[in-house]
Structure 1
């Protein structure tokens, strides 16, 4: 009997969600020693082992299952849904969460963080469980409850080091942005309940509304879910949040939580039988703008984690642009474009949930070894951390969209859709391809800067000089993610198979098409590239064997060169920052050089985001001025407030009559 029950994929997923939610509770009581954290890791690994096989099997089989949970809340039946779209988005949750939990044993151990480790471990599990509940909820009220738990768990994880002013400011900004998005979602689900007559979410294509009536639904979904996905200009919370959270938390936020915005947007679009053309155009435009601005801002950063945070905006922009192209294909009667764009977009969602956590784990390893996030204070770490350097290189290749990384395959299908299907009545799609190529070029600049400044050259600080390799608990999760990144590029067939059932849910006409390029070509090309690289490396190693000499880096002829003469990450991207001054500017501050000989002076370099200063900032100031008028009505006198209530009741009576 128990075996039959455990064969049910929903039962296994539900048990995994419960195990995930309670994984951090033992650590709240076992605060001394590593026992609580290790128990949490065991629970996380057990939840993954329980859920992932069931999720993959059910997804590949295209299964659908709905379950009714009895509750006494006045929001209609509480339904839970496992369909291909939900199963697809459960994969990153039960992959990144256990790896991050294992990684935390070396990166955020109880021995060095006795006061913050127990709550971080608790909220880490609660965040993962809330995201899983968001994905499987088919009741609007339950969805909003899980969404709010997700938002608050992320906040408490972010402010774990609240003694620092920068962390508190990042947490406040995150909380404000999250609840602006939640306000839009409350309006969305309330409007939906008024139309449907229940908080139970409609089935696929069940909501038939004319375009004017459907417009508010799409608009509220774009605001509420777009802010969580970090699409510009709704991205204001993302850079500071990812930069100041612990690295394994940043990996979960970027690798998984951002995808909840994409999931919510896709789920809402399934309610309607057709998607309007304007929605595709808005998503395509917002995605391209987010991709270009996000990676341009990333290239100017010297903060390692802030660079990765802005890169997340770029990658989610690519996903949004692909989904927008798919909606355009549906609206213009081009199912082949919808097929290629959806395939590339869904594949990129999986890819980003692999290479971005890998890079955040790599950043954590570097910070663990050097004690800094400043790229200009690193250098030479490849000698101290060869394993971390190799795994980081895999992540860099993947995120730049270069073969044999997995990012190359997903972006290839997006390119293919834009170039081969950009015909009337929407030929502007052809312009998206060179813009994405521009994004790829800037990404190469950004991540060559990241890898070169951190791992190559000579150490530029005492922390880099005394760097050390990460423990096995940190290297194993990085190694598994790096392996999956390579498998996605060398053997993409398995990943593409996971997107097929989702295509049938989002675009029923799309699965009838076949890929114009066989995945075996990617396998052959990737293996040929790896073989060629290995041959060149062995040839160069053979030629230099016995003839190589070691010495300090050449300092342009100076008798006593120092590491201060090295080419830093700031210098590497300096020309690019100058060329893109309309998007990102830098503020250089320092003491005036005086005297003979001049006294030592310090110079600081801070990148500034123009879109925040000239677009988002003025809008917030305008809102502040509007609310300042309301604040004048707060006299603090009870009789005045009673008068307000009386006037409101009179107006309501007049309006009802």
Structure 2
């Protein structure tokens, strides 16, 4: 058996997928308790131990293996494909899934949640396995089946706290948006079936479609997969879903499931040998708009997890911008631009799979300690959750694209592409530089706000004053991700080595570009110097504090003798100035009851930032669609013989149309 795995590591990957799918079954069969959850975590870790070495060895080997399955269905045979593109996207799945499963032992234990814990654990494993099957599927029907299992698993993972109307609404919007995206995928695979005569995917670069057929395939893929990736304006499901899901579920949704949309888009693009210039320009524009609007809306959020959700839109926008840049480089015959765009996009995709689950895990630790997601009710948690605060700081520095962490390395490639290759015939690429700079600046504002308001200052609520550190089961996965973020920043060559075999799958010109425009040793040296300087300053300040002694007291309040935590910055006041600049994107809904009577009683005012695009345009349009569908419900009158007539008429029309 061991010899078979060494001879064909893809069998180990298949075994890991099967193990992940069944990991939650013991929790359903055993009596409520920790044993089923611990067995699920053990299966998750075992699946990761099987898959990750096999995936890395297959990637470095650069080979492709396929398994043909004659499953007896009318769609013809199907295939499972282990090519570099599939292998790369499997790595985040088998990295985040076991860490999230371990994290759940402390965050959502079955003993405290006997009614929801077993089902949550089961669908967590099923979601991971279905995502792996989406990546491995090499035919339209198999991908759609795995996609549907992925969508339904995600829906049930959103519902553990189903007694909340907000949670039910988020899950419903997620499910509707998922199936709207699936409609685009049906169009995509139907058009491919008509063109190629088979539901199997075309070989890389073999599809020679032009004109309307190519445009239909591209736009259907962009809508179907772009909605899953959260590209604006197809992002309507993302903020509420990620904010209301359990934190380890949010980490899997944001860190991995969003990447399924990017995978699908890259897979479809790989079918084409030549692509029109406007394809790359459109993806680039959508990516930059998503990045800019996503982080601008994130900056004014007062919900910790909703802020992280909108920042996922920003990061996936950067990935899409890199893909668009690579397509433009291929079309204009610029291999350097193609390499910087695609390598930067895939590198940033791997990086986002590390620092975003880390930040959601840290948010879960804060929620576990305080019971709230409201930034305005936090403060002072750095003293009470020191390890979580440190790891949250690492994640914040990484996601802001600052050295010496991995976010800086991948965004540096995108900067080089926009700035270094902005020449004829594509000088407009230079516009990406101020856009990236603005995105980075707003991201810094957002995460200074997140870290400062959450962990610094004095507690602004009783829950924050009595917060406690997370258990080891939660801290260890966070530490692993934090360490990998540092490794990716100091040694970016390790991550680029994983990306290199994938380049020829999508843009062959990028794979032919020899050498980076900078020395990787420079990254290691400069990053190590920055890290050593930060540690040295910390040591000196700490030593000075110990030797000279310190006195503690309240923060100076401009001479006020009784300062309180209400005088500190809150998440809302910190972002007030920036919120005034982005008032066209976000509006504040204020709920302040009017005073009643001569002596009105105590009242509480509340406010909520709302996205203008979503609340003023997208949701009203969907409301009109819902009104139109109400008229269609009149045909649902329960008369079986009339339903039979509907079916007969539909079949007759289809037969006449085919003839």
TM range (shorter): over 0.9
Residues 83-119 of structure 1 deviation map (CA, whole Å, 9 limit, x = unaligned): 1100000000000000000000000001211111100
Superposition deviation, residue 638 in structure 1: 6.6
Residues 575-604 of structure 1 deviation map (CA, whole Å, 9 limit, x = unaligned): 111111001111222245799999644221
Q: Match for residue 390 of structure 1?
A: 390
Q: Match for residue 102 of structure 1?
A: 102
Of 600-609 and 394-403, deviating more is 600-609
Q: Match for residue 90 of structure 2?
A: 90
Residues 122-167 of structure 1 deviation map (CA, whole Å, 9 limit, x = unaligned): 0000000000011111121111111100000000001121111111
Residues 350-402 of structure 1 deviation map (CA, whole Å, 9 limit, x = unaligned): 00000000000000000001111111111111101111110110000000001
Q: Match for residue 559 of structure 1?
A: 561
Superposition deviation, residue 9 in structure 1: 1.3
Matches within 5 A, 1:498-577: 498-513=498-513, 514-544=515-545, 545-577=547-579
Aligned partners of 1:383 and 1:351: how far apart in 2? Answer: 29
TM-score, structure 2 normalization: 0.96
- SS state of the match for residue 223, structure 2? helix
Q: Match for residue 281 of structure 2?
A: 281
Of 292-301 and 69-78, deviating more is 69-78
Aligned partners of 2:50 and 2:2: how far apart in 1? Answer: 14
Superposition deviation, residue 619 in structure 1: 2.6
Of 281-290 and 545-554, deviating more is 545-554
Aligned partners of 2:504 and 2:72: how far apart in 1? Answer: 35
- SS state of the match for residue 458, structure 2? coil
The answer on whether the counterparts of 1:31 and 1:114 sit within 8 Å (CA) in structure 2 is no
Residues 546-579 of structure 1 deviation map (CA, whole Å, 9 limit, x = unaligned): 2421112233322222211111111100111111
Any stretches of 5+ residues in structure 2 without a counterpart? none
Aligned partners of 2:139 and 2:166: how far apart in 1? Answer: 37
Aligned partners of 1:254 and 1:654: how far apart in 2? Answer: 46
- SS state of the match for residue 275, structure 1? coil
Counterparts in 2 of 1:601 and 1:26: CA distance versus 1, 3 Å:
same
Residues 276-324 of structure 1 deviation map (CA, whole Å, 9 limit, x = unaligned): 2111111111111111111111111111111100110110001001101
Aligned partners of 2:522 and 2:303: how far apart in 1? Answer: 38
The answer on whether the counterparts of 2:270 and 2:506 sit within 8 Å (CA) in structure 1 is yes
Superposition deviation, residue 212 in structure 1: 2.5
Residues 509-540 of structure 1 deviation map (CA, whole Å, 9 limit, x = unaligned): 21232110111111111111111112222333
The answer on whether the counterparts of 1:221 and 1:268 sit within 8 Å (CA) in structure 2 is yes
- SS state of the match for residue 297, structure 1? helix
Matches within 5 A, 1:603-618: 603-618=605-620
Matches within 5 A, 1:250-649: 250-513=250-513, 514-544=515-545, 545-592=547-594, 600-631=602-633
Q: Match for residue 152 of structure 1?
A: 152
Superposition deviation, residue 69 in structure 1: 2.7
The answer on whether the counterparts of 1:9 and 1:54 sit within 8 Å (CA) in structure 2 is yes
Counterparts in 2 of 1:637 and 1:122: CA distance versus 1, 3 Å:
closer
Aligned partners of 1:277 and 1:577: how far apart in 2? Answer: 36
Superposition deviation, residue 57 in structure 1: 1.1
Any stretches of 5+ residues in structure 1 without a counterpart? none
Aligned partners of 1:235 and 1:583: how far apart in 2? Answer: 14
TM-score, structure 1 normalization: 0.96
